[in-house]
Amino acid sequence: MREITIVCPIFNEEENIEFFIKNFNEIFKNHPDYKFSILFADNNSADSSREILKKICKERKEIKYIRYAKNNGVMKSLFNAIKHVDTDACAVFDCDLQDDPKLLNEFIKNWELDIKIIYGKRVKRKEIFFLGFFRNIFKKLSNYLRGYEIEIESGAWFLDKEVIQQIRNDEYEPFLPLLINNLDFESKGVEYERIERKRGFSKFNFFNYLSYAAEGLVSGTIKPLRVSVYFSFLFGCISFFSAIYFLIAKFFLKIVFAEGVAAIIIINLISFSLIFLFLGILGEYIGKIYLKDDNKKIPKISEKINI
């Protein structure tokens, strides 16, 4: 009997844990030929999540629990949790159940066709307008800079044990969908509509999304650095020809120019904006170099149950 582990990263999800287990238990009944377990990866929750899971783990050995000594961020904690899976496959779902547990039925169906990576492909999601607007811009810009599309999102995934083994051998990549996307395995997306969170509230705020987007834009490509070179060349040409024009106009055409204080201020502001933009791009890459050793550090686990 093959075994599948459901990996669920959590942070302050006391309202959802029991509801999550209950919903997946219903799905497990559809697959009597498989053995299932659930691994909760606790990113150092400050609520009662730990106490709830300790109690459940004592009663049910198929519920597993690891707790990190500090909050390492959802991607790093998830990456490390996947490396703890020793079953035939794992499925990744968030505890808020916005990714419908029924997706697991489709994941298993495709896995039985020997597809190694199956992922949920969100065709519709209920969220505030401006967040969806910026998300679409990010995806288009990311695909353009990278030269290919990354369809895998952070959400619901299903990974065969061969994929899990490959992840164990790879270094941590902060933009985890890129790492999984670039693994040399057959993959397939399953379309679904993401639903609203019913309990609690999301711990992933606008600044977390912004940081995640920045990681996605600079991971696996140096095109943003080249964009700064193109803009530098463009503005250099404009400045050079503008200087020639003003010299000719003033000394040969005898055109008198009034002092343009406003124009100078505007030009300076635009220049400073561009400078800070490209310094920001460079800073992202320098930051990745600076954090490289930190990314290699294995998150410290303070507690394990049933593992």
Q: Kindly write down the DSSP assignment for every residue of 204-220, as one continuous string.
A: --HHHHHHHHHHHHHTT
Q: Where are the domains of the chain?
A: 2-131+149-204, 223-293
Model-level pTM?
A: 0.71
pLDDT over 80 (residue 88): yes
pLDDT band at 8 (very low <50, low <70, confident <90, very high): very high
Q: Both tokens of residue 91?
A: 């499925």
Give, for 131, the enclosing helix (H) or strand (E): helix 129-146
Check if the beta carbon of residue 216 is closer than 8 Å to that of residue 175: yes
pLDDT over 60 (residue 127): no
Q: What is the pLDDT of residue 261?
A: 46
- The pLDDT tens digits for 144-153 are 666 666 678 7
Say which amino acid occupies 222.
I
pLDDT band at 171 (very low <50, low <70, confident <90, very high): confident
- The pLDDT tens digits for 194-209 are 887 776 666 555 555 5
CATH architecture of 2-131+149-204: Alpha-Beta Complex (3.90)
- The pLDDT tens digits for 29-72 are 999 999 999 999 999 999 999 999 999 999 999 999 999 999 98
Collect all residues with Cβ–Cβ distance below 8 Å to 146 and sequence separation of at least 6.
220, 221, 223
Q: Distance between CA 169 and CA 117 in Å, rounded?
A: 17
pLDDT over 70 (residue 221): no
